[in-house]
Amino acid sequence: MANLLRKKENNTFIIGSPYFIWVVIFIVVPLIMIFYYGLIDRNGNFTLENIAAIAQPVHLKALRLALWLGVIATVICLIIAYPLAYILSQTSINRYGFVVFLFILPMWMNFLLRTLAWQTLLEKTGVINNILVFLRLPPLNIINTPAAIVLGMVYNFLPFMVLPIYNSLLKIDPNIINAARDLGANSVKVLQKIIFPLSLPGVISGITMVFIPALTTFVISNLLGGSKILLIGNVIEEEFTHAGNWHLGSGLSIVLMLFIIVNMIISSIFDKTGEGNFL
């Protein structure tokens, strides 16, 4: 018996080993390197300066802006995604996953290309403004503003909000809703007391999946925000590329990671069952 068990454990280990190697090379080692670089200075001595550097006004401003835009983008995604997911979960046209498929379709195209497309659309003499001018409407000036960045975030991350909510709504047994109606609840009460609370794991999962990439993005802010608007992601990227200060870049990354960890702890408290996970 003990032999059998050990054999089984061995098998699990062998089957899991490619994943294990992957995790070590691409997740554990880079993490260790970030902490290593983040906690020493250029001379190789231990220091907390790189982390404390977040307190510098320019860094603090970038972090605050990233948090703020991330929150706005997440809220907008939630407002758009919840009704959408609800409608999708109710309709029979989606029996073959067609609508969900339409949603995933753009995700097959490169993220960078999609964001570049928005740049062309939003430019001062871009497609949208040409149409507006043609219709004798005032042109939009949102390229290179925070609004354009939020738009890019919402556009890119909306599916990550819709899918977990859709999934958790789909899991609600129709008889649970029937039972609530049977006990006297009208549609509003059913939504408020049954459907929304039961879909909360999906909502939390969606919030995490939108907020974290929004908080850390530098591509969207680069392409749609011009070089004027710096998010914390841009600052870190600059340190690694142009400034060549890996120590400062790593230190700021550690700070950013703290925010992500806090977010994930909050979501794991709500999402005990892992219901909202769809990946």
Partner 1 sequence: MNFNNQKPLIHLENISKSFDGQLIIDELDLQIRENEFVTLLGPSGCGKTTLLRIIGGFETPDTGKVIFDNADITHLPPNKRPLNTVFQKYALFSHMNVGENIAFGLKIKNKPADYIAEKIAYALKLVNLDGFEKRKPDTLSGGQQQRIAIARAIVNEPKVLLLDEPLGALDLKLRQDMQYELIRLKNELGITFIYVTHDQEEALTMSDTIVVMNQGYIQQIGTPEGIYNEPENAFVADFIGESNIIDAIMIEDKLVEILGSRFACVDTGFGKRKPVDVVIRPEDVELTSKEAGTLEGVISHLIFKGVHYEMEVTAGGFEWLVHSTGMFPVGAKVGIKIDPFNIHIMHKPESEDEEAVSIEALEEQS
Which of 162-170, 181-189, 210-218, 253-261 is the region at the interface with partner 1 (rule: CB under 8 A)?
181-189
Interface of this chain with partner 1, residues 244 to 273, rule: CB under 8 A: none
Q: Does 197 bind partner 1 (CB under 8 A)?
A: yes
Least distance in angstroms from the C-beta of 196 to partner 1 = 10
- The two three-digit tokens of residue 197, written as one number: 């609370």
Query: What are the C-alpha distances in Å from 16 to residues 13, 47, 183, 240, 278?
Result: 5, 38, 49, 33, 21
Sole binder of partner 1 in the list 175, 227, 269, 274 (CB under 8 A): 175
* Interacting residues of 36 by C-beta distance below 8 A, sequence separation 6+: 250
CB of 205 or CB of 222, closer to partner 1: 205
Q: Does 203 bind partner 1 (CB under 8 A)?
A: no
- How many CB atoms lie under 10 A from the CB of residue 51? 18
Q: Does 186 bind partner 1 (CB under 8 A)?
A: yes
Q: Does 185 bind partner 1 (CB under 8 A)?
A: yes
Sole binder of partner 1 in the list 14, 183, 269, 279 (CB under 8 A): 183
Q: 58: number of CA atoms within 13 Å, CB side?
A: 7
Least distance in angstroms from the C-beta of 277 to partner 1 = 18
Q: Does 274 bind partner 1 (CB under 8 A)?
A: no
* Binding characters for partner 1, 150-169, by CB under 8 A (x = yes): --------------------
Q: Does 184 bind partner 1 (CB under 8 A)?
A: yes
Least distance in angstroms from the C-beta of 168 to partner 1 = 12
Least distance in angstroms from the C-beta of 183 to partner 1 = 4
Nearest Cα residue to 212 out of 263, 167, 268, 158: 263
Q: Does 194 bind partner 1 (CB under 8 A)?
A: yes
Least distance in angstroms from the C-beta of 274 to partner 1 = 15
Q: Does 71 bind partner 1 (CB under 8 A)?
A: no
DSSP 94-152: GGGSHHHHHHHGGGGS-HHHHHHHHHHHHSTTSHHHHHHHHTT-PPP--TTSHHHHHHH
Query: What are the C-alpha distances in Å from 149 to residues 66, 115, 124, 266?
Result: 10, 10, 15, 26
Q: Per residue in 199-232, is it b (16+ CB within 10 Å) or e — as a string? A: bbbbbbbbbbbbbbbbbbbbbbbbbbbeeebbbb
Least distance in angstroms from the C-beta of 271 to partner 1 = 13
Would you give the DSSP letter of residue 44?
A: S
Which residues in this chain contact partner 1 in the complex, by CB under 8 A?
Answer: 173, 175-176, 178-186, 189, 193-194, 197-198, 200
